[in-house]
């Protein structure tokens, strides 16, 4: 595991949270499909489960740059997931409460953004001693 000062604990947290979030998204996807919503639900499933996949890839990174790239992608996927959740919520295509899902993805975005910022700063410091 790449150890960027102070990020190792955050990585474990984001690894666990992104996995749990993916499971929640799978359940939400099943509910949406049951209610015959196929298009947005598929987009949500893809983006929501790819957050954790990219975190896993980042944890197995070969370098800090590789780690930063994967965690940055995970952060982008989290933002895309937030978009699909907000769209589902505001369009009321399927009228269910998305509040918990939105709160969970916001927490993931904050953690991932923090890791990206810390890692970027660490890389910058190492380039210019």
Distance in angstroms (rounded) separating the CA atoms of residues 44 and 125: 37
pLDDT at 51: 98
Distance in angstroms (rounded) separating the CA atoms of residues 98 and 88: 8
Give the residue with greater pLDDT, 1 vs 126: 126
Distance in angstroms (rounded) separating the CA atoms of residues 54 and 72: 9
User: Does pTM top 0.85 for this prediction?
Assistant: yes
pLDDT at 2: 43
The pLDDT tens digits of the residues spanning 10-23 come to 668 999 999 999 99
Distance in angstroms (rounded) separating the CA atoms of residues 25 and 19: 10
pLDDT at 126: 77
CB 122 within 8 A of CB 64: yes
Domain boundaries, the chain: 7-123
The answer as to CATH 1.20.1440.60 being correct for domain 7-123 is yes
């Amino acid at each position: 595991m790449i150890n960027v000062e102070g990020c190792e604990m955050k990585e474990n947290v984001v690894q666990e949270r992104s996995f749990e979030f993916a499971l929640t998204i799978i359940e939400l996807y099943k509910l949406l499909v049951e209610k015959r919503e196929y298009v947005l639900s598929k987009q949500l499933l893809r983006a929501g489960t790819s957050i954790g996949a990219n975190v896993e890839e980042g944890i197995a990174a070969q370098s800090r740059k590789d780690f930063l790239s994967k965690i940055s992608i995970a952060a982008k996927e989290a933002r895309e997931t937030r978009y699909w959740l907000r769209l589902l919520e505001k369009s009321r295509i399927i009228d269910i409460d998305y509040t918990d899902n939105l709160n969970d993805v916001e927490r993931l975005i904050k953690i991932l953004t923090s890791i990206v910022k810390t890692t970027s700063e660490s890389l910058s410091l190492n380039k210019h001693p």
